[in-house]
Structure 1
Amino acid sequence: MKPVLALVGRPNVGKSTLYNRLTKTRDAIVADLPGLTRDRHYGSARLGKREFIVIDTGGFEPRAEAGIYREMAKQTRQAVAEADVVLFVLDARAGLSAQDHDIADYLRKLAKPCLLVANKAEGMQGQAQWSEFYELGLGEVLPVSAAHGQGVRDMVEAALDRLAAAAPAEPSAASEADAEADGVIRLAVAGRPNVGKSTLINAWLGEERLVAFDQPGTTRDAIAVPFERNGQKFELIDTAGLRRKGRVFEAVEKFSVVKTLQAIEGAHVVLLLLDASQGVTEQDAHIAGFALDCGRAVVVALNKWDSLDSYQRQQLQRSIESRLAFLKFASMHTISALKRQGLAPLWPAIAQAHASAHKKMPTPLLTRILQESVALQAPKRSGMYRPKMRYAHQGGMNPPVVVIHGNSLEGVSESYRRFLEGRFRKAFDLVGAPLRIEFKTAANPYAEQ
Structure 2
Amino acid sequence: MQYIDNIIFLVALVAGFGLFFRSLKEIYRNIKLGRAIDRTDRPGDRWKTMAKVAMGQSKMGKRPIAAILHLFVYVGFVIINIELLEIMVDGIFGTHRFLASVIGDSLYGFFTATLEVLALLVIMAVVIFFIRRNFYGVKRLTMKELFGWPKQDANWILIIEFALMTAFFTMNASDWVLQQRGLLATHGSFPVSSNILAPLFSGLGDGTLYYLERGAWWFHFIGILFFMNYLYYSKHLHIILAFPNTWYANLQPKGKFNNLASVTAEIKLMMDPNADPYAAQPDADPNAVPDKFGANDIFDLNQVQLLNAYSCTECGRCTAVCPANITGKKLSPRKIMMDTRDRIEEVAWNINKNGKFEDDGRKLLDDHIQREEIWACTTCNACVEACPVLIDPLSIIMEMRRFLVMEQSAAPQELNLMMTNVENNAAPWQYNQADRLNWANE
What is the TM-score of this pair, normalised by structure 2?
Answer: 0.23
Q: Which has the higher contact order (CA 8 A, sep 6+)?
A: 2
What is the TM-score of this pair, normalised by structure 1?
Answer: 0.23
Q: Greater helix percent: which structure?
A: 2
Q: Greater strand percent: which structure?
A: 1
